[in-house]
Amino acid sequence: MLKASVEKALNSQINEEYFSSYLYLSMAAYFESLGQQGFANWMRIQAQEEYIHSMKFFDYVIHTGGKVTLKSIKDPKTTWKSILEVFEDTLEHEQHITDLINKLTSLCLTESDHATNSFLKWFIDEQVEEMANATQILHEIKLIGDNNAGILMLDRELKARTPVLMNVVAPA
């Protein structure tokens, strides 16, 4: 049985991951409005992955006998000054999520909740990947600067990203 403090934090994380999905979908819409289909594709896939993260927490709460309580999702930002600003926001947002996962892990250690601690390991590794990916793209955008050919090349590269197929049904 989940302790109330852990259940509350996991429910909050469902909301945070769902908001992440919404934020990246908003970034996808922004890139579509610029005609940058590759950047939009990358953000659409990012949004799908965040939805899956949300569902992993959703399923875990149910699987451990907890209660899922969904709350409203806040409005995401809808416009940006530049491609650079979008990826600065992306990195900043992933840092925020990393901080939350770390806090959740610390809470589990305080509460001696080893099962949830074990469940969170996947997210700790995932956040390392997320931070690395966002940092790399941000680095490339900074190198490209105002070079349109460079932007076009990166757009083509990001168009090749394909969704990771993951199970979103409840664990057996």
- Angle 162-40-86 (CA atoms, 0-180°, nearest 5)? 120
Rounded distance, CA 144 to CA 56, Å? 36
For Fe ion, the binding residue among 7, 113, 130, 155 (CB under 5 A) is: 130
Closer Cβ to Fe ion, 44 or 53, answer by number: 53
* Residue 130 Cβ vs Fe ion, minimum distance, rounded to whole Å: 4
Closer Cβ to Fe ion, 30 or 51, answer by number: 51
Residues between 8 and 67 that touch Fe ion (CB under 5 A):
17, 50, 53
* Residue 155 Cβ vs Fe ion, minimum distance, rounded to whole Å: 21
Closer Cβ to Fe ion, 75 or 129, answer by number: 129
Nearby residues of 106 by Cβ (< 8 Å), 6 or more positions away: none
Length of the chain (residues):
172
Residues between 71 and 100 that touch Fe ion (CB under 5 A):
none
**Of 105, 102, 124, 103, which is closest to residue 114 (Cα–Cα)?**
105
* Residue 119 Cβ vs Fe ion, minimum distance, rounded to whole Å: 14
Rounded distance, CA 69 to CA 12, Å? 9
Query: 4: exposed, middle or buried (C-beta count within 10 Å: 0-12, 13-18, 19+)?
Result: exposed
* Residue 44 Cβ vs Fe ion, minimum distance, rounded to whole Å: 14
Phi/psi-derived region of residue 8, left when phi > 0, alpha when psi is between -120 and 50, beta in every other case = alpha
Neighbours of 23 (CB within 10 A): 23
Residues that bind Fe ion (rule: CB under 5 A) add up to a total of 4
Closer Cβ to Fe ion, 7 or 17, answer by number: 17
Number of residue whose CB is nearest Fe ion: 53
* Residue 134 Cβ vs Fe ion, minimum distance, rounded to whole Å: 8
Closer Cβ to Fe ion, 68 or 153, answer by number: 68
Q: Which residues bind Fe ion (CB under 5 A)?
A: 17, 50, 53, 130
